[in-house]
A and B are shown apart, each in its own frame.
Chain A
């Protein structure tokens, strides 16, 4: 389940706005082989995971993976 928090996870300071770099970053995030896809893979791998520790780790990583960005 997804719950939105109206704040960043880490303070961000943009010294030089750079749309070209931003478009590269957003594709690393939501594009092919991006963070969002990785997140879904972590969360799906849990269903076949036999170890409790790893179920926990996959849940935590799959949850945090995509949400360290500016949203």
Chain B
């Protein structure tokens, strides 16, 4: 056992729902288990629906639903991709050396970029800067985010 300091755990084979802890820990200090490298991940629709990319962090405080309960449409598809990029970005902040996650981050960032361009070409600009790349100024075109049809239950 490492008696010098408790900064890292030598055992990297905990199950996916578990995290690493310092082998030697200061007394009377509470610890949060650290998420391990290369954790299991949901597909993007499941991730957006569950509110986390990581099954290990999907804690059953409430009714646990794993499959996506969201409608399938171009906007939700884009929202799901953006959510994965967001989650991976935050994961990489604390696990910058996880090469597999970084590769996935690059793939999803590219997918998000092209999905966004396709969405904007069809439905109009999502950002002011992309309002500059059309034949006319479409920024004021309905719907605004609070007016989408999907917001209403029929």
CB distance from B94 to the nearest CB of A (A): 5
In the complex, the chain B residue whose C-beta lies closest to that of A61 is: B90
Q: In the complex, which residues of chain B have a beta carbon less than 8 angstroms from the beta carbon of A48?
A: none
B10 at the A interface (CB under 8 A):
no
Within B49-104, the residues touching A (CB, 8 Å) are: 70-71, 75-76, 78-79, 82-83, 86, 89-90, 93-94, 96
Q: Does A53 reach chain B (CB closer than 8 Å)?
A: yes
CB under 8 Å from chain A, chain B span 25-63: 48
How many residue pairs bridge A and B at CB < 8 Å? Answer: 61
For chain B, the count of residues having a C-beta within 8 Å of the partner chain is: 29
Q: Are B150 and A57 closer than 8 Å at their CB atoms? A: no
Q: Is the CB of B90 within 8 A of A5?
A: no
A13–B148 CA distance with the chains assembled, in angstroms = 9
Q: Is the CB of A70 within 8 A of B146?
A: yes
Q: Are B145 and A8 in contact (CB under 8 A)?
A: yes
A56 within 8 A of B: yes
- Chain A residues 46-71 with CB under 8 Å of chain B are 53, 56-57, 60-61, 64, 70-71
* In the bound complex, CA of A19 to CA of B125 (Å): 30
- Complex: A37 Cα to B148 Cα, angstroms: 28
The answer to whether A53 touches B153, judged by C-beta atoms less than 8 angstroms apart, is no
Contacts of A7 in B (CB 8 A): 75, 78-79, 126, 145
**Of A5, A56, A64, A70, which contacts B126 at CB under 8 A?**
A5
* Bound Cα distance from A56 to B75, whole angstroms: 28
Residues of A within 8 A of B93 (CB): 53, 56-57, 60
B5 contacts chain A at the CB level, 8 A cutoff: no
Known contacts A5-B126, A13-B151, A13-B153; is-contact A57 B75 (Cβ 8 Å): no
Proximity string of chain B (127-154) to chain A, C-beta cutoff 8 Å, 1 when within and 0 when not: 1100000000001000011101011110
CB distance from A25 to the nearest CB of B (A): 13
Render A19-39 as a binary contact track against B, CB cut-off 8 A, 1 for contact: 000000000000000000000
List 9 A–B pairs whose Cβ atoms lie within 8 Å, in order of A's numbering: A6-B124, A7-B126, A10-B83, A11-B70, A11-B75, A53-B94, A57-B90, A60-B89, A70-B145
